[in-house]
């Protein structure tokens, strides 16, 4: 019993410490975000002094990589509840770059809180989603980057095969590209062995396929029966080797790499599904003899590629 009381007070103490620590958080600026094309909105933890806030000389804004070039501020406006402040700049903001905002000598309720700075950037989550959607639709690996076509045409005759292939492929590509990302970032790049990337990546892909094969056979024979046949085909798919190469060329971090790999896999699945739906119906169509089989499939793929061009230029975040 005594033990419990002690533990309870300990817990209270911890919570209190955290609470006080939270209250006296060094940053009075709670949030900062871009708005429209030329505005930055700062949200303060409490009301600020209007006289202080309305003076543009208390604020500086610069693009993070260019600390020496301050951007011109056109006007500053405080919201009626005195906790939201809108900085309007003279020129439109390049929102792809993170910006740094410095508020000098913040005055709140008569108290001087000192100079504080905050970084404004586009929401990171949105960036991740845009990578995913980019690989899935806008830059679909099959219809806009023309990769993985052999397997694409080979396995898109029936919907069931297509879905099986797509799912297997998504699994393998996520594993393989994460592994190759690690290997590239921590071994190949630091030791300047990046000219070995082709041989290393193809080795890793084969290894992943072999591992998935072995594990699946042991753990879930039913699933292996369903998907085992596609595993061999995965190696012959250019996308599976293209994604690690693209990751190596661009400086993506781990989560971004995961998103790209996932987008590539799901994009392939989507392409296969669309294509197989059409090809199942094509079987009943009266296609000229010379066009039967692959030629007509290519023309259908061309139509898909045309319609996928409609996604280009789309930006959600």
Partner 1 sequence: MKEIIRITIALTLSCLLAGLVIGTTFIFTAKAKQHNEHLNVQQTMLGLLGYGPQRPAAPELQLHQVHRYIVKHNETMRMGYMLPARCSGGGPGYVWVELDLKGDFLDRHELALTPEAALSADDRKKALAGILDPGAEADFADTMIIACLGDRRTAYLLPGEFPGFKTFIKAMVALDADFQLLGLEVIEHEEDPGLGGEITQDYFKNQFVGKTFEKLKHLTVIKEPLPADYEHYLKSMGLRNSGLSESETADIRQRYKDQDIHALTGATISSAAVTNGVKAMVKKFAYRIQVLDQALADGDVKVLF
Partner 2 sequence: MAATTKTNMQLVVNGLLNENPIFRLALSMCPAVGISTTVANGLLLGVAVLFVQVFSSCTIALIKDHIHPRIRIPTYTLTIATWVTVIDLVLAAYLPVAYKAMGIFVRLIVAFAIITMRLEVFACRNTVAASFWDGVGMGFGFMFGMATLGAVREVMGMGTLLGYDVLGFRPMLFFVLPAAGFFLVGFMMAMFNYVETLYNRRAKRGS
Q: Which stretch binds partner 2 (CB under 8 A): 11-19, 70-78, 276-284, 289-297?
A: 289-297
Placement of tokens 């996932």 in the chain:
262
Residue 157 sits at the vertex; the CA angle it makes with 151 and 161, to the nearest 5 degrees, is 75
Closest distance to partner 2 from the beta carbon of 295 (Å): 4
If binding is defined by CB under 8 A, does position 282 make contact with partner 2? no
Question: Across the chain, which distance is largest between two alpha carbons, in Å?
Answer: 90
Instruction: Give the integer Cα–Cα distance in Å for 247 and 240.
Output: 12
Closest CA to 52 of 111, 117, 118, 119: 111
- Rule CB under 8 A: is residue 250 a binding residue for partner 2? no
Instruction: Tell me how far, at minimum, the Cβ of 288 lies from partner 1, in Å.
Output: 30
- Residue ranges in 175-204 that form contacts with partner 2 under rule CB under 8 A: 195-199, 202-203
Query: Rounded to an integer, what distance in angstroms lies between the CA atom of residue 218 and that of residue 212?
Result: 10
CA–CA distance, 261 with 263 (Å, rounded to integer): 5
- State the residues that interact with partner 1 by CB under 8 A: 65-69, 94, 96, 139, 195-196, 199, 250, 312-313
- Among 154, 185, 174, 312, which Cα is nearest to 248's? 185
99, two tokens: 């910006």
Residue with tokens 């006296």: 24
246 binds partner 2 (CB under 8 A): yes
Indicate whether 302 belongs to the interface with partner 2 (CB under 8 A): yes
Question: With CB under 8 A as the contact rule, which of the stretches 10-18, 45-53, 120-128, 143-151 interacts with partner 2?
Answer: 143-151
Does 271 participate in binding partner 2 (rule CB under 8 A)? no
206 binds, among partner 2, partner 1, none (CB under 5 to 8 A by kind): partner 2
226 with 137: CB under 8 angstroms?
Answer: no
Q: Is 298 in the site for partner 2 (CB under 8 A)?
A: yes
Within 8 A by CB and 6+ apart from 208, the residues are 172, 175, 176, 179
Q: Which residues contact 272 (CB under 8 A, 6 or more apart)?
A: 152, 155, 156, 162, 163, 165, 166
CA 52 – CA 57 distance, rounded (Å): 10
Q: Residue 291 interacts with partner 2 (CB under 8 A)?
A: yes
Q: Which residues pair with 40 in a beta bridge?
A: 34, 87
- Shortest reach from residue 199's CB to partner 1, in Å: 7
Q: Report, in Å, the least distance between residue 143 CB and partner 2.
A: 8
With CB under 5 to 8 Å by kind, the binding choice for 139 among partner 1, partner 2, none is partner 1
The count of chain residues that interact with partner 2, using the rule CB under 8 A, is 43
Least separation in angstroms between residue 108's CB and partner 1 is 23
Q: Is 173 in the site for partner 2 (CB under 8 A)?
A: no
Among 130, 144, 168, 276, binds partner 2 (CB under 8 A): 144
Return residues touching partner 2 (CB under 8 A): 143-150, 153, 195-199, 202-203, 206, 235-238, 240-242, 245-246, 249, 288-291, 294-299, 301-303, 305-306, 309
């Amino acid at each position: 019993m005594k033990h419990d009381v002690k533990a309870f007070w300990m817990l209270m103490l911890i919570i209190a410490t955290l609470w006080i620590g939270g209250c006296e958080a060094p940053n009075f600026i709670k949030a900062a975000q871009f708005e429209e094309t030329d505005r930055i909105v700062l949200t303060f933890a409490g009301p600020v002094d209007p006289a202080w806030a309305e003076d543009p000389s208390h604020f500086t804004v610069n693009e993070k990589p260019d600390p020496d070039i301050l951007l011109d501020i056109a006007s500053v406006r405080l919201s009626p509840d005195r906790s939201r402040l809108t900085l309007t700049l003279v020129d439109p903001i390049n929102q792809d770059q993170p910006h740094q905002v410095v508020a000098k000598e913040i005055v709140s309720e008569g108290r001087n809180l000192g100079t504080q700075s905050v970084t404004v950037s586009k929401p990171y989550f949105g960036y991740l989603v845009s990578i995913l959607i980019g690989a899935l639709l806008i830059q679909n690996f099959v219809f806009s980057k023309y990769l993985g076509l052999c397997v694409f045409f080979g396995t898109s005759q029936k919907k069931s095969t297509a879905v099986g292939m797509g799912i297997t492929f998504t699994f393998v590509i996520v594993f393989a590209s994460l592994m190759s990302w690690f290997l590239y970032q921590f071994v190949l790049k630091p030791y300047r062995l990046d000219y070995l990337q082709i041989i290393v990546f193809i080795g890793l892909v084969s290894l992943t396929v072999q591992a998935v094969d072995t594990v699946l056979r042991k753990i879930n024979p039913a699933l292996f029966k369903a998907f085992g046949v596609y595993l061999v085909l995965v190696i012959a798919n250019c996308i599976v080797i293209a994604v690690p190469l693209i990751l190596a060329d661009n400086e993506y971090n781990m989560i971004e790499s995961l998103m790209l790999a996932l987008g590539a896999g799901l994009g392939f699945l989507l392409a296969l599904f669309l294509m197989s739906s059409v090809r199942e119906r094509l079987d009943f169509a009266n296609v000229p003899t010379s066009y039967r089989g692959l030629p007509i499939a290519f023309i259908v793929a061309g139509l898909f590629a045309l319609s996928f061009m409609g996604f280009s230029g789309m930006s959600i975040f």
